[in-house]
Chain A
């Protein structure tokens, strides 16, 4: 069955430190992969997406993600976290047929 796993429920990093949020997926075909961010009380905003081609994709707000087929992973990274990055982050895979499966989310806390 298709699934998305975000193993970290929450992560705390210091402002200015680097960040990596983990995402593993289970999907038989070549996946369309996404990272979305959700601030409290808001909808989801697309950070970046992977459809094909270069496995390192750049997104908005200085985020990037790397698709690793051998590890079924699509980890999100940022070299230097800002306090405004504190939010919930969702990894998602499009399985076709208008169905997107979201991971459970990772809440990011940023400490001064």
Chain B
């Protein structure tokens, strides 16, 4: 089945130690998103890629970076994690326009990576 995969599902890192979370998709969608979700809150969009075009949300801290080496993969890098960065990180994809049955705007989410900062 086509899907969005996130690895690892659980990540523990130390305060200030860089960490990378990964996301891959088999949906061939051209848009990929990273969200941060803290307990009992709505997902908060950090940034997205439309193909290779990167768009950072205005309030996303500089500590958060992303890479998309190809259509299938997208990475979230946290350069110096703080205690406040502990959260669930969700990757999502969407396709724009209609092609071969793909729908616009709805997002397909991965299972998330739970990040703990010690």
> Hey, which bits of chain A sit against chain B, CB under 8 A?
32, 34, 36, 41-46, 49, 51, 90, 94, 98-100, 102-105, 107
Contact = CB atoms under 8 A, between A and B. Distances in A.
B110 A98 contact: no
Contact of A44 (B31, B43, B48, B104): B43
A41 B45 CA distance: 18
Given A42-B112, A104-B41, A105-B42, 4 more contacts: A41-B114, A98-B94, A100-B105, A100-B107
A98 B33 contact: yes
A1 to B, nearest CB: 14
A55 to B, nearest CB: 18
B4 interface: yes
16 contacts: A36-B109, A41-B112, A43-B6, A43-B111, A43-B112, A44-B107, A44-B109, A46-B106, A49-B105, A49-B106, A51-B105, A98-B50, A98-B94, A99-B45, A104-B41, A105-B42
Interface of B: 4, 6, 31, 33, 40-43, 45, 48, 50, 55, 90, 92, 94, 103-112, 114
The majority secondary structure among interface residues of chain B is strand
Contacts of A49: 103, 105-106
Contacts of B105: 32, 49, 51, 94, 100
Nearest to B50: A98
Contacts of B108: 46
A98 B48 contact: yes
A50 to B, nearest CB: 11
Contact of A45 (B103, B109, B114): B109
A80 B35 CA distance: 32
Nearest to A99: B45
